Structure 1
C-alpha cells in the first residue's frame, strides 16, 4: 500500500517576506505653491503699504513676474532675499531701521546673486548715488508708469542695468556734481584699458545704448558688446550703471 505523499512544508515568513501586505509610505506632499524657474522672483521693499500693494497687484497679473515677499524695512528685505531666493528687489531708500542703501549693499554683496532696483523720488532723494555705489543695478522713479516699472524689473533680472539716456544720466550727473562726503568710496581709475575701450566707456557714461555706441564708433553692435564685456571685467564693475559712475568719476564725461 502506497503511503500518501507528505504535504509540502509550510513556508515560514522571514524578515524579507512579511506575512501581511505592506502599504508603502506615502510620497511627500509637493510644494503647495511652487514658483516655476522661468518666473522672476521679486521682493518689494517699501515702508509705504500702498506702494507695495499697487506693485503686487500689477505683478500678480503679469505672467513672468511673481512677488515672493514684501518688506517694510531694509533688514526684512535682506532676510526675505535669503529665504525666498529672490532674483530682484525693488528697494525704497528711505525706510526705518536699516535703510535702502545699507540693505542694497548687504543684498548685492551676499551669496544669492539678487539684484536691486532702487525705488526713489528723483527730486528730493539725495541717497541714490550712494545706492548705486552700494551695488544697485538701476533705479525707478515712483511716478513712472507701472508698465515701465515692470519693464525695468525684467531688464535688471536679465542681467542688464537701467541706464536710460534721460533720467538716469541726469540723476548721476546731479550727484557727481555734489561735494563728496568724507565717507564716500574712493574714486576708481581707468588704468589698464585701451584707448578704444576708453572711448566706449565715455559713451556709456553719456548714456548711449550699445546700438548708439556702434553707430558712433562705426563698429558692429556685437563688437560694442564685446568692448562692454571687457570693460566690466577690467574695471571690476557689476554692470552698466557702475560703468557710468566710473566714467563720471574718471572725468571722462562732463557734468555740464
Structure 2
C-alpha cells in the first residue's frame, strides 16, 4: 500500500460521484484514483493504475455493483471493495459479498464515517453492521450457491477450538489481527495462523465470508 490511500468512486449518479470525490480530495492521506459510472469501468480502471479501495454503488446500468465487484476482485485481488448500499439492496449485496467485497456502507453515512471505513478495510477489518448482517444471512440461507453448505453446522459439531471460536467472533465484529492479538495477548503472527486454520477448517475464502458465516450461526440460534 502506498503512503496515500488511492480511492476509486463508482456510481452512475454524477452528483454522488462529485460529492464523494470532494470528500476524498480534501482529506489528508487520501487520493482520488478516478471515478466510474458502472462496474465495468471500475474493472478497466483497476487494471490501468493502482487502486487501494473501490467505493462501489449497487444499482447501475450496464454493469451493477455485484458484477463489478466480481470483475475488480478477479483483476486485482488486493483491491478492497466497499459497497455503497441502501436497505433495499440486500439481494445485490449478498452477491457482492460472495464475490469478495470487504463489507458495506450505507449511502447516508457521514463523511467521517466514510473515511473511517476506508481506513478500516485497509487495516483488514470487515464492515458488517450486526442488524443488517442478520437480515442478509437469512437471504443467504434461503438461496445458497452450489458451493455453499445449505445449512449451518452447529458450533459443537465443528473442529474449532475455544480459542478459534473467540477469534471468529472478533473477526465478525470487525477487529483486525493486531486488535485481536492485543485483546488475547498473542502475537499478530499467531493470530494470522489461527485465521488461516479457521478458514481452512470451514472451507471459506476470506474474512468477509467468515463474518457472514458467524452471523448466520447467530441467526440460526435465535429462538
Q: TM-score range by the shorter chain?
A: 0.7 to 0.9
Could you tell me which of 193, 199, 203 is aligned with 2:169?
203
**1:109 match: secondary structure:** helix
Instruction: Compare CA radii of gyration and give the structure with the larger one.
Output: 1
Q: Which residue of 2 aligns with 1:56?
A: 21
Q: Which residue of 1 aligns with 2:89?
A: 125
User: Structure 2 stretches of 5 or more lacking a match?
Assistant: none
Cα offset for 1:134? 1.0
Distance in 2, Cα, partners of 1:208 & 1:198: 16
Distance in 2, Cα, partners of 1:59 & 1:214: 31
User: Structure 1 stretches of 5 or more lacking a match?
Assistant: 1-35
Q: Which residue of 2 aligns with 1:106?
A: 71
Q: Which residue of 1 aligns with 2:31?
A: 66
Distance in 1, Cα, partners of 2:198 & 2:123: 19
More helix by share: 2
Distance in 2, Cα, partners of 1:77 & 1:229: 30
Distance in 2, Cα, partners of 1:65 & 1:234: 37
Question: 1:91-240 alignment to 2 at 5 Å?
Answer: 91-111=56-76, 113-121=78-86, 123-126=87-90, 127-163=92-128, 168-178=129-139, 180-181=142-143, 185-187=147-149, 193-200=159-166, 203-204=169-170, 207=173, 209=175, 219-220=184-185, 222=187, 225-226=191-192, 227-232=194-199, 234-235=201-202, 237=204, 239-240=206-207
Aligned residues: 212
**1:89 match: secondary structure:** strand
How does the TM-score come out when normalised to structure 1? Answer: 0.70
Question: Per-residue displacement from partner, 1:137-166 (whole Å, max 9, x unpaired)?
Answer: 011111111111011111112333223xxx
How does the TM-score come out when normalised to structure 2? Answer: 0.79
Greater relative contact order structure (CA < 8 Å, 6+ sep): 2
Distance in 1, Cα, partners of 2:88 & 2:146: 20
8 Å Cα contact 1:117-1:140 kept in structure 2: yes
Cα offset for 1:212? 8.2
Give the RMSD, CA atoms, in angstroms.
Answer: 3.2
**2:142 match: secondary structure:** coil
Cα offset for 1:66? 0.7
Question: Which range is displaced more, 197-206 or 126-135?
Answer: 197-206
**2:75 match: secondary structure:** coil
1:246 aligned onto 2:207: no
